[in-house]
Amino acid sequence: MIVPTVFQALLFMNQLAQNYGKRLLGGVFASALLSLPAALYSQTAATFDIDRYSPLGEVFFETFYVDETLTLQEALNTKLLNPTTELPVTETATGYLALDGVSPHRTR
Binding site for another protein (CB under 8 A): 1-3, 36, 40-45, 48-50, 52-58, 60-73, 75-76, 80-104, 106, 108
Whether the CB-CB separation of 102 and 87 falls below 8 Å is answered with yes
Of the two residues 9 and 40, which places its CB atom closer to another protein in the complex?
40
Of the two residues 21 and 69, which places its CB atom closer to another protein in the complex?
69
Contacts with 3 (C-beta within 8 Å, 6 or more apart), sequence order: 40
Whether the CB-CB separation of 89 and 82 falls below 8 Å is answered with no
Report the nearest approach of another protein to the CB of residue 27 (Å).
Answer: 19
